């Protein structure tokens, strides 16, 4: 940019570019969650047990988590548009592979492709927000991006289940790939990195500079606070939506497939409604964000305790309460990105955001694998589907992760506050005397 004030970005143009980029994230969430509501059918198609089924989601999420920091570096180099196009193409390829897969290796490879493409999408949209909108609007639009993206989970619930049961596996996932391809074409046509003529790409980073930026971001207490916030708030709702919620409702609670998919849809709608409220509270009370994190975590743990301790199958109102509380987990995890924005300069946002985004997905991977293992251990051989007792033992593993996350949030919140207080106490620099 040349010297002088930056030109005003037309609101309609900004809204159009953000809306199309957001549709790419909606498609990514759709692809990401498509396995969750088809888990029972996937187990039958590939003839696998619970632990083996978990490897599908673990492969997808592990790649997503591992790619966050590299994607941040690539994003600074190539810009959002190229990353969104590459990510969309990878997810379409993954869904096409999943549509024709009949063996476990190809199915896992398909989920890896989905995870790679998914990893490139969310932070690319956040970078578009930073370029196209004024800074004061960034927190709300970041929350809206994360929240509205969950519309993809609605497409991945009732419609996909209905199509799967009506037309079969291959047709359902081929249609899913076609949806992704359509969105990809719109992104190619409408998304630009910036509203200005100059490029949003940067020079090729050196390994030394990448290490230096990552090290500084990692040693910033606010970044660690963001990571553990993302860790403790996200995993329960994410695992429920991505894989184990649908089997728990159908096999454990005895709901019909349509009723279970409907509850997952209610969960998504509640996420859409709660996101703006969480954003408003964070903007209104920035020094009380950790209180909100602890409240969300405690409420989730308490409702799960009621569900797991209920004698027999839980009543409908309790399952509804569970999905409503889980719906707040996603918006709650976005508070972690707000911490990254608060405690890091713009030049480190890519690195800090990538680090934060690892937290919740690492916790989700651990829980997905743990639930699968416990279900296999507690389901007698030859019985087939796990029963309610097996699911109770499996979901009890969550309390270990909640305890770890809560302790770390408290630890790094205090460290961030001490760092902030020390910086505020530093005296103003004394001007040097004029040279005689």
The DSSP code sequence of 152-208 is HHHHTTHHHHHHHHHH-HHHHHHHHHHHHHHHHHHHHHH--S-SSSS----PPPPHH
Q: Answer whether residue 2 is part of any domain.
A: no
Percent of the chain with pLDDT over 70: 90
Q: Answer whether residue 428 is part of any domain.
A: no
pLDDT score recorded for residue 381: 63
Give yes or no for a contact between 349 and 341, defined as CB atoms under 8 angstroms apart: yes
Average pLDDT over the chain reads 85
List pLDDT tens digits, range 262-306: 898 899 889 888 888 888 888 788 888 999 999 999 999 999 999
Total number of residues shown for the chain: 436
Q: Answer whether residue 426 is part of any domain.
A: no
Higher pLDDT, 257 or 206: 257
- 405: tokens are 């996350």
pLDDT score recorded for residue 178: 94
Mean pLDDT, residues 161-165 taken together: 83
Q: Answer whether residue 355 is part of any domain.
A: yes
Q: Which of 1-15, 186-200, 224-238 has the highest mean pLDDT?
A: 224-238
Query: Positive or negative CA dihedral for 264, 266, 269, 271?
Result: negative
Mean pLDDT, residues 44-55 taken together: 78
- Position 430 confidence tier, pLDDT thresholds 50, 70, 90: very low
Name every residue whose Cβ is closer than 8 Å to that of residue 133 and which is 6 or more positions away in sequence.
Answer: 9, 14, 18, 141
Whether residue 198 is predicted with pLDDT greater than 70 in this model: the reply is: no
Whether residue 385 is predicted with pLDDT greater than 80 in this model: the reply is: no
**Distance (Å, rounded) from C-alpha 124 to C-alpha 17?**
12
Whether residue 1 is predicted with pLDDT greater than 60 in this model: the reply is: no
pLDDT score recorded for residue 434: 40
- Position 432 confidence tier, pLDDT thresholds 50, 70, 90: very low
- 274: tokens are 């709660």
pLDDT score recorded for residue 96: 94
pLDDT score recorded for residue 403: 97
Give yes or no for a contact between 388 and 313, defined as CB atoms under 8 angstroms apart: yes
- Position 323 confidence tier, pLDDT thresholds 50, 70, 90: very high
Mean pLDDT, residues 167-183 taken together: 91
List pLDDT tens digits, range 78-114: 888 999 999 999 999 999 999 998 888 898 899 999 9
pLDDT score recorded for residue 6: 45
Q: Answer whether residue 292 is part of any domain.
A: yes
Angle between helices 398-425 and 289-309 (to 10 degrees): 170
CATH number, position 154: 1.20.1250.20
Mean pLDDT, residues 341-349 taken together: 75
Higher pLDDT, 236 or 272: 236
**Distance (Å, rounded) from C-alpha 242 to C-alpha 435?**
67
- Position 33 confidence tier, pLDDT thresholds 50, 70, 90: confident
- Ranges 324-333, 376-385, 405-414, 416-425: which has the least confidence: 376-385
Whether residue 37 is predicted with pLDDT greater than 70 in this model: the reply is: no
Domain containing 85: what range?
11-194+205-419
Mean pLDDT, residues 187-205 taken together: 73
Please compute, for residue 244, the number of CA atoms within 13 A of its CA located in the half-sphere on the CB side.
33
**Distance (Å, rounded) from C-alpha 145 to C-alpha 123?**
10
Q: Answer whether residue 167 is part of any domain.
A: yes
Higher pLDDT, 5 or 427: 427
**Distance (Å, rounded) from C-alpha 228 to C-alpha 412?**
8
Higher pLDDT, 430 or 354: 354
Whether residue 20 is predicted with pLDDT greater than 90 in this model: the reply is: yes
Give yes or no for a contact between 72 and 354, defined as CB atoms under 8 angstroms apart: yes
Mean pLDDT, residues 326-334 taken together: 92
pLDDT score recorded for residue 431: 47
List pLDDT tens digits, range 110-141: 999 999 999 999 988 988 887 888 766 777 78
Q: Answer whether residue 269 is part of any domain.
A: yes
Helices (H), 101-150: 104-119, 122-132, 138-148
pLDDT score recorded for residue 435: 36
- Position 436 confidence tier, pLDDT thresholds 50, 70, 90: very low
Q: Answer whether residue 425 is part of any domain.
A: no
Higher pLDDT, 203 or 349: 349
Start-to-end CA span in the chain (Å): 38
Q: What does residue 220 show for φ and ψ, rounded to 5 degrees?
A: -80, 120
Whether residue 347 is predicted with pLDDT greater than 70 in this model: the reply is: no
- Angstrom CA distances, 223 to 216, 220, 229, 348, 404, stand at 10, 5, 10, 10, 17
pLDDT score recorded for residue 228: 96
Give yes or no for a contact between 16 and 138, defined as CB atoms under 8 angstroms apart: no
Give yes or no for a contact between 252 and 378, defined as CB atoms under 8 angstroms apart: no
Mean pLDDT, residues 176-199 taken together: 87
Whether residue 55 is predicted with pLDDT greater than 90 in this model: the reply is: no
Q: How many domains does the chain have?
A: 1
């Amino acid at each position: 940019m040349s010297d002088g004030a930056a030109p005003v970005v037309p609101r309609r143009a900004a809204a159009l570019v953000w809306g199309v980029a957001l549709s790419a994230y909606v498609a990514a969430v759709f692809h990401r969650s498509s396995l969750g509501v088809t888990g029972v059918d996937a187990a039958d198609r590939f003839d696998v047990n619970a632990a083996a089924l978990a490897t599908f989601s673990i492969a997808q999420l592990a790649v997503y988590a591992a790619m966050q920091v590299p994607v941040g570096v690539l994003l600074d180099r190539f810009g959002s548009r190229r990353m969104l196009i590459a990510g969309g193409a990878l997810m379409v390829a993954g869904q096409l592979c999943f549509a024709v897969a009949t063996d476990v290796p190809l199915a896992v490879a398909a989920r890896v492709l989905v995870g790679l493409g998914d990893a490139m999408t969310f932070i690319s949209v956040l970078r578009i927000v930073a370029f196209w909108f004024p800074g004061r609007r960034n927190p709300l639009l970041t929350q809206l991006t994360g929240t509205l993206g969950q519309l993809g989970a609605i497409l991945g619930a009732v419609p996909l289940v209905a199509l799967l049961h009506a037309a079969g596996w291959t047709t359902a996932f081929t249609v899913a790939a076609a949806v992704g391809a359509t969105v990809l074409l719109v992104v190619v046509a409408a998304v630009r990195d910036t509203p200005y003529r100059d490029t949003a790409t940067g020079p090729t980073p050196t390994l030394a500079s990448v290490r230096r930026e990552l090290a500084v971001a990692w040693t910033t207490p606010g970044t660690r606070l963001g990571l553990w916030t993302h860790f403790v708030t996200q995993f329960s709702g994410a695992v429920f939506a991505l894989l184990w919620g649908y089997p728990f409702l159908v096999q454990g609670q005895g709901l019909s497939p349509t009723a279970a998919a409907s509850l997952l849809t209610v969960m998504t709608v509640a996420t859409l409604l709660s996101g703006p409220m969480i954003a408003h509270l964070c903007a209104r009370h920035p020094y009380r964000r950790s209180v909100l994190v602890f409240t969300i975590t405690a409420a989730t743990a308490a409702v799960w305790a009621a569900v797991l301790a209920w004698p027999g199958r839980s009543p409908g109102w309790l399952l509804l309460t569970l999905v409503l509380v889980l719906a707040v987990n996603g918006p709650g995890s976005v508070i972690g990105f707000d911490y990254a924005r608060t405690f890091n300069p713009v030049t480190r946002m890519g690195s800090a955001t990538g680090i934060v985004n690892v937290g919740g997905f690492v916790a989700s991977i651990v829980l997905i694998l743990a639930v699968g293992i416990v279900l296999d251990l507690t389901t007698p051989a030859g019985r087939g589907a796990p029963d309610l007792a097996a699911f109770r033992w499996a979901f009890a593993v969550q309390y270990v992760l909640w305890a770890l996350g809560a302790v770390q949030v408290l630890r790094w919140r205090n460290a961030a506050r001490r760092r902030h207080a020390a910086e505020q106490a530093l005296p103003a620099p004394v001007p040097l005397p004029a040279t005689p």
